Structure 1
């Protein structure tokens, strides 16, 4: 018996938010990469992006004292918003298979790079200013295409002097701002309202995932867990590329 792919997406959302609560990264990247094996990316984005607002908004408010407003408002948000609009504008020109292939490349690069970092155990060096700005703009483009600007933005900010709590709070604020803007775009293009039933049905899974992740956070070896998740993403990236080529 074939299970409705939207039920599978619910399973992936539960898994993704559990993983984010454990490790602090990637709810949309994980849910979208697994979901893209079964569903078109443009159909999932108006569901996954508004869902993320609830978590990122809560976390941004909770960690507001650590947000670096100067970095956020003067550098990251302007470039990311410009890139996001470019990526959003490109989506109608790219067919579903090409989108899956490009997303598969992004996931494969991100997961492969993180696996190498884990095994080698070294931190990334700081980038020159021009390269950081270019990568930040590119992160905005990937966010407009896939709501997944995190991999490139984290790479763009490699070597930053911000401590972990300040960087995390600032990044969370970026996702809240960008995903709120994308949700407004989905409302204007007519794709949000048909997705509301799915959004409402998945909301309890978000809560369960966060609670389950917090319960597991101190009971798992996080580095080993990250290795498993990144390995899963490598396999998923390869499968997405395979689906795009066939």
Structure 2
């Protein structure tokens, strides 16, 4: 029990609360934010078997709530086939990278993602559509980043730029993507033996996720989402820079 209440894990609990509150309020970022901050105090390989199952708690709840808005053709014909293959490929690459290189690569991804979003907000730019082939290449790469870091969102959103779905359908479809892929990763963690040792920490942190979902729902109706997102991206940019710096 004492091993689970060390300072790094207490900090991770705080980061998880902030990250899942942000996703409930704005619709993005639970694993990207929690992993970015958590990687400052713990190895990524230790964090992922905890974060991924916790994300299922949120994504399953939100997928059920918004099930009528899911765009099934986009999900089955376009996103999942490429991302499932990419996720398995990314998971296979993890042992070859080592924790330091994994941390640096994740930092570069976060820095690119947050910098791009801040630039778009500052310029007031709108996303332009990719060609069919390039969109599929980016989706496969998004799958690889999901297998590596359980964070395929930045590249998937980039791949789907210009997709003709309204905001509600887009969000609901992406939530189900994360539910499917994180369920796959959880099964992989069970098979590789990393899930069961993480189970006590997962159980301890489930209440944190539930409270974060409630707080996020309240904030969704009370805060300026644009400014809130800007603040989150600034934090991510700083964190990504720290992680990307060669250590």
Out of 201, 206, 216, the position equivalent to 2:219 is: 216
- The aligned counterpart of 2:50 is 47
Report which stretch shifted further, 214-223 or 81-90: 214-223
Out of 168, 190, 193, the position equivalent to 2:193 is: 190
- The aligned counterpart of 1:225 is 228
Out of 43, 67, 70, the position equivalent to 2:70 is: 67
Moved over 4 A (4+): none
- The aligned counterpart of 2:167 is 164
Unaligned runs of 5+ in 1: none
Deviation of 1:122 (Å): 2.0
Deviation of 1:220 (Å): 1.5
Deviation of 1:218 (Å): 2.2
1:81 aligned onto 2:69: no
Report which stretch shifted further, 65-74 or 45-54: 65-74
- The aligned counterpart of 2:34 is 31
- The aligned counterpart of 2:112 is 109
Out of 118, 121, 135, the position equivalent to 2:121 is: 118
**TM-score normalised by L of structure 1:** 0.97
Deviation of 1:120 (Å): 1.3
Per the alignment, in what secondary structure is the counterpart of residue 94 of structure 1?
helix
- Across the two proteins, how many residue pairs are aligned to each other? 243
Report which stretch shifted further, 108-117 or 60-69: 60-69
**TM-score normalised by L of structure 2:** 0.96
1:57 aligned onto 2:60: yes
Q: Distance in 1 between matches of 2:138 and 2:94?
A: 19
Deviation of 1:217 (Å): 1.9
Q: Aligned-pair RMSD on alpha carbons?
A: 1.1
Report which stretch shifted further, 143-152 or 207-216: 207-216
- The aligned counterpart of 2:242 is 239
Deviation of 1:237 (Å): 0.5
- The aligned counterpart of 1:12 is 15
Out of 91, 94, 112, the position equivalent to 2:94 is: 91
